[in-house]
Amino acid sequence: MTARRTRAAGLAIVAALALILSGCGAGGFGGKEPQTLDTAIKSYVALGDGFAAAPYTGRTTSKDGCLRSSANYPTRLAAALGITDFKDVSCVGATTKAITDPFRPPGAARSVKAQLAAVGPDTDLVTVTVGIMNDNLLNTMFRVCVALPCGDLVPASEYIETLPAIAKSITSAVRAVTAKAPSAYVVVVGYPELLPFARNCRSVPRMNETQLFYATKVWQQFTTAVGSAARQAGAAYVDVQRLSETHAPCTKDPWVNGQISVKGSRVGYHPKAAEQQAVAAAIAAQVATR
């Protein structure tokens, strides 16, 4: 075959490929419109503790003792994403065990179902905020002891030793979610800054410099453990501590309540409405880039 004939055969092949590709671009071989991947989120389930339920930041929407608010971040996120199939089963006081087992909210007469029951195979998005109520870390980290005997205080070393177990339980909870909803985008949502930057802050129990140092050490290791647990389980993570670092207790605009709880008004150390709004925006941004 001459070079001229070889070149002509090659041009014929190129022309044929171009004709085929042009047919695909016009709707494929059957003339149908090309299919596009549907990435819209249609079903969203919110799991977690009081930092997701956000009691009294708005109207209380639950009658089960969980104190979910109409202004919490799950509700705000669902509205921002235009999601109508939305279930919020977050609950004040929930531990990681409440994800997979029935849980009785503080002061409630009855237990609520395992939060995982709200998740189904068609769930597209799940947010999880859980871990800080394990071993009552939220309250006891302000009452650490650094020198024995501790009395009614808790040795800081004991809490540091429990953190790997808490992280493992978070990972297990998230894996239980992904097992039930394998196609869901799962986001572990961290906690806001709870410790002040000065020891004379009246929003938390009085601590000397050494106590504040060790409380901060426990807190930092816990927040790091939450992020690590999320990554270990293959979930996305929103670092709310970093988001709220300029809104710590005793700043001009703190994002969490002080230590005193007022029934029907606020729960100690729990988030304010501004924090929930910021968290919802951060998760929406994360979801948009998934």
Average pLDDT over residues 121-141: 95
DSSP state of 35: P
Q: Which of 81-85, 159-163, 248-252 has the lowest mean pLDDT?
A: 159-163
Is pLDDT of 84 > 50? yes
- Domain chopping of the chain, boundaries: 1-36, 41-288
Q: Where are the beta strands (DSSP E) in 132-177?
A: 144-145, 154-155
Is pLDDT of 167 > 50? yes
CA–CA dist 160, 137 (Å, integer): 11
Share above pLDDT 70 across residues of the chain, in percent, rounded to a whole number: 87
Average pLDDT over residues 134-142: 91
Beta pairing partners, 238: 189
Model confidence at 38, pLDDT cuts 50, 70, 90, reads low
CA–CA dist 223, 195 (Å, integer): 12
pLDDT tens for 225-237 read: 999 999 999 999 9
Query: So what's the pLDDT on residue 100?
Result: 98
| Cβ neighbours around 286 below 10 Å, total | 16
* CA angle at 283 for the pair 277 and 289, rounded to the nearest 5°: 140
Query: So what's the pLDDT on residue 153?
Result: 86
Average pLDDT over residues 137-159: 86
| Cβ neighbours around 129 below 10 Å, total | 28
CATH value of 41-288 in 3.40.630.30, 3.30.420.40, 3.40.50.1110, 3.40.50.300: 3.40.50.1110
Tokens of 210: 């050494």
Q: Please, which contacts does 151-156 make with residues 24 or more away whose CB atoms are closer than 8 Å?
A: 156/214, 156/215, 156/217, 156/218
Average pLDDT over residues 66-74: 98
Tokens of 70: 């109409």
Is pLDDT of 181 > 60? yes
Average pLDDT over residues 20-45: 56
Q: What is the 3-state secondary structure (H, E, C) of 234-276?
A: CCEEECHHHHCCCCCCCCCCCCECCCCCECCCECCCCECHHHH
**Nearest partner of 123 among 49, 178, 62, 188, judged by Cα:** 178
- The model's pTM is 0.85
Query: So what's the pLDDT on residue 147?
Result: 81
Q: Where are the beta strands (DSSP E) in the chain?
A: 43-48, 85-88, 125-129, 144-145, 154-155, 185-189, 236-238
Average pLDDT over residues 178-198: 95
Share above pLDDT 90 across residues of the chain, in percent, rounded to a whole number: 73
Is pLDDT of 39 > 80? no
Query: So what's the pLDDT on residue 32?
Result: 53
Query: So what's the pLDDT on residue 19?
Result: 36
